[in-house]
Amino acid sequence: MRLTEERIKSITGAIGSAKILVLGDIMIDRYLYGSVSRISPEAPVPVVDIQRETIALGGAANVAANIASLGDIPILVSVVGADSSADTFKMALAESSIGAESLVSDSSRQTTMKTRVIGESQQIVRADREDRHEISAQIESRILESVTTLLDDVKALIISDYGKGVITKTLLKEVITRANSKGVFIAVDPKETHFMNYSNVSVITPNHHEASFAVGRRITSEKVLLEVGAELMERLRLESLLITRGKDGMTLFESVSGSESSKATSDSQIHTNFPTVARRVFDVTGAGDTVIASFVSAVSAGATLKEATIVSNCAAGITIGELGAATVSCEALMQELHQS
């Protein structure tokens, strides 16, 4: 399935005006790049002579960065620590033209930072500094109050759950209920251990490993894939489900009714497969963030779910060809859509 020239122009032309609320776990991705010429005398490990350092937005912040790169307006709601890393994070947000007004500071936890040491274009080690305990009831209340106020002025809500403690079961239930009451499109990038809490949302975007974990069945064939998708759609009462499948592309499941049910995987669902458009795979870091951000931006611009899947498939194809978590501009996306 391809988009016509008219639809490419219509969808990409409409991207750039939507406010999209992003709720979830944020992190800083720190990269130390260097060369390797010797082995340490202290242990059998390479010594990396660091030559440069970069800071990038990760987790829910990378989702927001992808939305901003496409031209839409992300509103990021999350928790940071009361530490110097929070200052670093806010500066990185400013560089991506993302506001920090809706961040909540929590002195009981540190701002998540993941440091990757890269030697000769190869990741040598990753060191994480983070807390994974759930936020307190007080912090949860502050987040819910902020989200409730913001829902009146956004086109969509993305919940980016990295399992670092921000997305609690109580908060999730309240946010979904309130967003649904206002007719806001709800997209979830799930954490596999929280899967059964994401009911009654517009779309969930797991990879095939996460979907397999959620139902306790490894996806080994097209038949199993359809059974897993149908089970998740039914158990979570979803409007749609987008399973990303790596080199095998993506599969979109949609709720249907009436005459469309003749094409359904069950009486109420249809599925569509989308082959990958990636020309090379260099680094899949952050690919899920790109998928959900571009999917929601496309839907906010008037795309159907199938059209939004094509858009997100092309966007992911661009980012996995880059080292680290990358973002996609609307211009690059338009060019990729024309070529795919």
Known catalytic residues are 289
Letter string b/e over residues 221-244, b meaning 16 or more CB atoms within 10 A of that residue's CB: eeeebbbbbbbbbeebebbbbbbb
Amino acid at position 18, single letter: A
Residue from 98, 116, 126, 113 nearest 53 by CA: 116
Distances (CA, A) of 68 to 64, 101, 243, 322: 6, 16, 24, 18
H or E element: which one contains 211?
Answer: helix 208-215
How many CA within 13 A on the CB side of residue 96? 31
Whether 167 contacts 143, CB under 8 Å = no
Report the DSSP pairing between strands 46-59 and 73-81.
unpaired
